[in-house]
Chains A and B, each alone.
Chain A
Amino acid sequence: MRRTLSLIVMLVLAGAVAGAQTVVTVAAGAVGQELELTRAAAERYMKLHPDVTVNVLETPDLSDNRLGLYLQMFEAKSSDVDVFQIDVIWPGDLAEHFVDLYDYGARDVAKEHFPAIIENNTVDGRLIGVPWFTDAGLLYYRTDLLEKYGFSGPPTTWAELTDMAKTIQDGERAAGNPDFWGFVWQGNSYEGLTCDALEWVASYGGGSIVSPDGTITINNDKAIAAIDEAASWVGTISPNGVTSFGEEEARNMWQAGNAAFMRNWPYAYSLGNADDSVIKGKFDVNPLPAGPGGKPAATLGGWQLAVSKYSKNPAAAADVALFLASYDEQKIRAVEGSLNPTIMALYQDPDVLAAVPFFGSLYDVFTNAVARPSTATAPDYAAVSRAFYSAVHSVLTGQATAADAVAEIEADVEDITGFPTGQP
């Protein structure tokens, strides 16, 4: 009897203590080292604020699957998750589910971040997400292999890349590595393909699917040529399986030393230079190649932290979000994870530049990245993107010609948005 009583008293006390704790749940990504970095940041926050418990919830790798998870929570108006890691393309579609961070003290920090990203995250004057890290597509290349086969530097056009990749691939296969491929990228039927394909199309001068002023520009010869060229890589310099590659599949092949070139986001840089990596010190990054007569293009990526409208502790959640996106935290993520900061001053920080030199040398790539037409097509960007990537995917798998696919995309986007068509 006495044991039961003391047990009940202990449980009640535990409940009381837990009740005094504010619990903030952060839904964060787990691509590469993201999850470990976020958990470490949460630990640092909890040390500074002992009355707050920060739980980090792991979310799916593929952007579309993450969106599916989030939408389910919004439909149920669930208060399970307070802070969401949202993609740079989602503010327009999901604005109604997040609070205005300007109400929670973001006004002071907003000017530290890149104005373009803050503008991207502002819908109807409400700042719905604080920028956390930005992203742009980069070309990773093996410096040792380029030297071995007598190339003076990384390719500046897609044609050059194709030639170099073929030479290196043939050479490495003959030297006894039958699993070697020239170029790996993201070709699965998901948002990542929109990023890659937008880079090909924009670098040919073919526009960005829908122009910022709301004209559908995808149906042009340059876009067709760009997609045709990419389809020619599948099975020749890229594995047939590239049509089911996401970011991690491409990185796994690259990091095992089985690819000469890779298109991926900056996060793969620090992972490639980890102590247990086969390619440590043997690679570098460059802007992506350009099409004939075009300029190199990198798709703007990046993730923001948004506070849910249905959260029980929006003030605490906003505090956590602003902490995670603060100068010091972004510096740690830049140095340890090569995740691009969104705070402009960090690009002059000597520690950051020492750890990730290309943040300085490729600064222009990040500031001039091509944005996907999420703002122009809001709130239907997800449907527009789906129309684009499924059509491009059908060209990559050989089920449709690029000309047909591009006409389909134009018709589909017209259906979804009602925008007029035009030339880029």
Chain B
Amino acid sequence: MQDAPEAPTPPAALPLDGEGGGGRGRPKKNGVSRLMRLERRTAYLLLLPTFLVLAVIAAYPFGQVVYSSLTDAKFASSQPTSFVGLDNYRTLFAMTIRRLPPKLDESGAPVLVDGKVRYESAVSVLPRSPRRYRQVFQFGLLGHRYVLGAVSADFVRAVWDTVVFTVVAVALETILGMIIALTLSSEFRGRGAMRAAMLVPWAVITVVSARIWEWMLQPTRAGLFNALGSYLGLSEGRTDFFGNPTLQLPSMIMMDVWKTTPFMALLLLAGLATIPAEYAEAAKVDGAGPLRRFFRITLPLLTPTLAVALIFRTLDSLRVFDIFQVVLGNQRYSMASFAQDMLISRRDMGLSSAASVTIFVIIFVFALLYVRSMKVDT
């Protein structure tokens, strides 16, 4: 940022930082004057209630979850709990890769169906004891076919789905939010009303809007999207948005982008308001086009706001629960809805807590990456 003109030096008043004797004549202790130590103590005392509240609301429950992730606690049960160490984490992350042999007929030649080799099913190849590994997905490499198996295949898939969901949704929200913010920062009639209307998706409770989307995305022509699709001749009006695995994540992303783009737009709008108009004017006078102005002036100055907005949204997206739970239920999990399913159907509080701690660690890593890469001044 351009330096502001130098402020005039204040008149020599009380030596608040301990430099020089001034009128007091008392020596400084450890480079800190008595007054400063008093101030610091007052500061800590004033912050003490906040720390206590944080400890009770955040630290204690978190500590409980971490502890319960090291046990085999059963939810809503009087079964005795025992300490199992990292067993739950081993259950969540145990993975293996096995080669799938091709199906062979009696003479030992590979069976061909439609010219393609058929392979044995994953169930026969993955280990079954002491722990059962389930297929996550199959892939081909160098002419062989492999299967990635995991003890908690649902969890591995949930992590992958959540990360993909986060990356795509946040990218879309940022781009769309930026466009909306730039539009709203220019003067036009009805700007105030637009700013208010823009917030409606963000204000509606997620469960309610998820239900509305569920109605609109119904797999029959009773749903808006299918009705439009069949009216415009684009589809037969029977697209199953939530049952078809290829369409599930895009539908979730669409719902999330609709809901949270206003939030991004609002944050970016606030950031845009802090950029003095003189820079853009000066650049215009110098002959820079709008794109150049955007990338060379607006965007760099917007970086701190953008960083904050991105951190918020990424962390929120990684924790996504409501839309997955309400709409997809048990069909496809996000990390958080997997943890909830473990709790309710398997009543496995230990495993569910381990999944929650994993979510925390993943979010922490993302937050660290953001702070480092965007050099946010913390």
> A: which residues have CB within 8 A of B?
62, 64, 67-68, 71-72, 74-75, 94, 96-97, 178-179, 188-190, 239-241, 243-244, 253, 258, 379, 382-383, 385-386, 389-390, 393, 397, 399, 401, 403-404, 407-408, 411-412, 415
Contact = CB atoms under 8 A, between A and B. Distances in A.
B245 interface: yes
Listed from nearest, the 3 A-B pairs whose CB atoms lie closest are: A241-B219, A74-B76, A189-B330
9 contacts: A62-B329, A97-B76, A188-B330, A189-B331, A244-B242, A386-B330, A397-B245, A399-B245, A408-B123
A243 B220 CA distance: 12
A112 B133 CA distance: 49
B179 interface: no
B1 to A, nearest CB: 51
B64 interface: no
B346 A382 contact: yes
Contacts of A399: 245
A188 B230 CA distance: 25
A383 to B, nearest CB: 5
A389 B75 CA distance: 22
Given A244-B242, A411-B128, A383 B345 contact: yes
Given A189-B330, A382-B345, A397-B245, 4 more contacts: A389-B330, A397-B243, A408-B134, A411-B128
B26 to A, nearest CB: 57
A239 B123 contact: no
Contact of A239 (B132, B134, B220, B230): B220
A240 B344 contact: no
Contacts of B132: 411-412, 415
A240 B244 contact: yes
Interface of B is mostly: loop
A233 to B, nearest CB: 14
Interface string B129-142: 00010100000000
Given A241-B219, A244-B331, A383-B346, A71 B75 contact: yes
B88 interface: no
Contacts of A72: 76
A382 B76 CA distance: 13
Interface string B324-353: 000001110000000011011111000000
B322 to A, nearest CB: 13
B123 A393 contact: no
A332 B240 CA distance: 40
Interface residues of B, number: 34
Contacts of A412: 132
Given A96-B77, A386-B345, A411-B123, A68 B240 contact: no
Given A96-B77, A382-B347, A408-B134, A244 B330 contact: no
Contacts of B230: 178
B222 interface: yes
A189 B329 contact: yes
B220 A393 contact: no
Nearest to A97: B76
A178 B221 contact: yes
Contact of A67 (B121, B238, B344): B344
A253 to B, nearest CB: 7
A241 B243 contact: yes
Given A408-B134, A412-B132, A240 B345 contact: no
Nearest to B214: A244
Nearest to A187: B243
A223 B363 CA distance: 44
Contacts of B274: none
Contacts of A411: 123, 128, 132
Contact of A71 (B123, B244, B344): B344
A253 B219 CA distance: 12
Interface in B137-168: none
Contact of A75 (B75, B128, B240, B245): B75
B78 interface: yes
A386 to B, nearest CB: 4
A244 B331 CA distance: 9
Interface in B313-330: 329-330
A239 B238 contact: yes
A404 B123 CA distance: 7
Contact of B346 (A62, A189, A386): A386
Given A74-B76, A382-B345, A415-B132, A64 B330 contact: yes
A289 B222 CA distance: 29
A306 B161 CA distance: 40
Contacts of B78: 96
A64 B344 contact: yes
Contacts of B243: 240-241, 243-244, 397
B329 A190 contact: yes
Interface string B215-246: 00011111000000010000001111011110
A258 B134 CA distance: 40
Nearest to A193: B330
Interface string B60-93: 0000000000000001111000000000000000
Nearest to A94: B76
Contact of A393 (B218, B238, B331, B345): B331
B121 A404 contact: yes
Contact of B329 (A74, A75, A188, A383): A188
A239 B237 CA distance: 11
Interface string B300-322: 00000000000000000000000
A390 B153 CA distance: 13
Contact of A179 (B221, B245, B340, B343): B221
Nearest to B236: A178
Contacts of A253: 220
A178 B76 contact: no
A179 B123 contact: no
Nearest to A75: B76
A243 B345 contact: no
A244 B75 CA distance: 28
Contact of B219 (A62, A178, A239): A239
A189 B328 CA distance: 9
A5 B110 CA distance: 93
A241 B347 CA distance: 30
Contacts of A71: 75-76, 343-344, 347
Contacts of B331: 188-189, 243-244, 393, 397
Contact of A64 (B121, B123, B239, B345): B345
Contacts of B344: 64, 67-68, 71, 382
A184 to B, nearest CB: 10
A397 B343 CA distance: 25
